[in-house]
């Protein structure tokens, strides 16, 4: 069994010609063409490692994850600041001395 990897342009915009898997001198189990449609194709042994879409979509996933994590960090930071302020206000507004209730607790 063998697979054909079509030609593609690499990151440096250089044309890499198509090749057959497994490659000469490579792993004999790597009979599948893996990678992305537009960038970095290689031979591997997993038939589900070829992604028929462009490599650039991964950057959008990374940007989305970064934005989501940034929002979560801001919310967490705001929560911590709010808790600290409320604790400070609770402690600072407590009366310093005991109130006089008017009752004497001394034994007669």
pLDDT by residue (tens digit) across 9-63? Answer: 877 888 888 888 888 887 888 888 888 777 778 888 877 776 665 555 666 667 7
Whole-angstrom Cα distance, residue 86 to residue 89?
Answer: 5
* pLDDT greater than 80 at residue 6: yes
The verdict on residue 28 lying in a domain is yes
The verdict on residue 38 lying in a domain is yes
- Residue pair 34/49 in contact (Cβ under 8 Å)? The answer is yes
Indicate whether 40 and 61 sit together in one domain: no
Question: At 56, phi and psi to the nearest 5?
Answer: -65, -20
The verdict on residue 104 lying in a domain is no
* pLDDT greater than 90 at residue 97: no
- Around Cβ 57, how many Cβ atoms within 10 Å? 11
The verdict on residue 105 lying in a domain is no
The verdict on residue 99 lying in a domain is no
The verdict on residue 107 lying in a domain is no
Q: What's the domain range around 73?
A: 54-93
The verdict on residue 40 lying in a domain is yes
According to the model, what pLDDT value does residue 24 have?
Answer: 81
Indicate whether 40 and 58 sit together in one domain: no
Number of domains in the chain: 2
């Amino acid at each position: 069994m063998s697979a054909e990897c079509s030609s593609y342009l690499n990151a440096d915009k250089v044309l890499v010609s198509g090749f057959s898997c497994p490659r000469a001198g490579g792993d004999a189990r790597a009979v599948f063409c893996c990678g992305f449609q537009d960038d970095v194709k290689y031979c591997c042994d997993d038939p589900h490692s070829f992604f028929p879409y462009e490599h650039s979509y991964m950057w959008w996933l990374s940007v989305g994850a970064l934005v989501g994590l940034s929002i979560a960090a801001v919310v967490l930071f705001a929560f911590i600041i709010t808790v600290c302020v409320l604790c400070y206000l609770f402690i600072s507004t407590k009366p310093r001395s005991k109130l006089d209730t008017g009752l004497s607790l001394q034994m007669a």
